[in-house]
């Protein structure tokens, strides 16, 4: 019986400590947290995550020229081909691959 009573006393002490830890903080401790910038949202940094509120910086302009070169009348098409094993759900499949260019 003494063992059960001491177990209940220990359990009630632990329960009181857990409930005391979950109790809301007093106004004074909240003020200290806000001064430190830790616990209150209004004291956090002035950085914002909203896209519209962020300042827009000027980005440099980049001009891209197309690489379309029309082959001449005596141009020849050169090709390089090989076989590749592709691993698919149905099993490995050998597929042809080819790269071509104009010279």
Evaluate if residue 15 carries a pLDDT over 80: no
Type and span of the H or E element at 88: strand 77-88
CA distance 63 to 29: 58
Task: Tell me the pLDDT band of 90, cut-offs 50, 70 and 90.
Answer: very high
Residue with tokens 């005391």: 20
Distance CA(9)–CA(1), nearest Å, equals: 13
Q: How far apart are CA 19 and CA 16, in angstroms?
A: 5
Q: What is the pLDDT of residue 93?
A: 98
Query: Is residue 100 within 8 Å of 77, Cβ to Cβ?
Result: yes
């Amino acid at each position: 019986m003494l063992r059960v009573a001491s177990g209940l006393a220990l359990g009630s002490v632990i329960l009181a400590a857990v409930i005391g830890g979950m109790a809301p903080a007093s106004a004074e401790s909240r003020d200290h947290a806000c001064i430190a910038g830790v616990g209150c949202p209004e004291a956090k940094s002035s950085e914002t995550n909203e896209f519209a509120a962020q300042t827009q910086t000027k980005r440099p302009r980049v001009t891209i020229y197309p690489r379309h070169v029309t082959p001449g009348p005596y141009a020849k098409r050169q090709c390089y081909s090989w076989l590749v094993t592709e691993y698919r759900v149905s099993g490995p499949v050998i597929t042809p691959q080819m790269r071509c260019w104009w010279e």
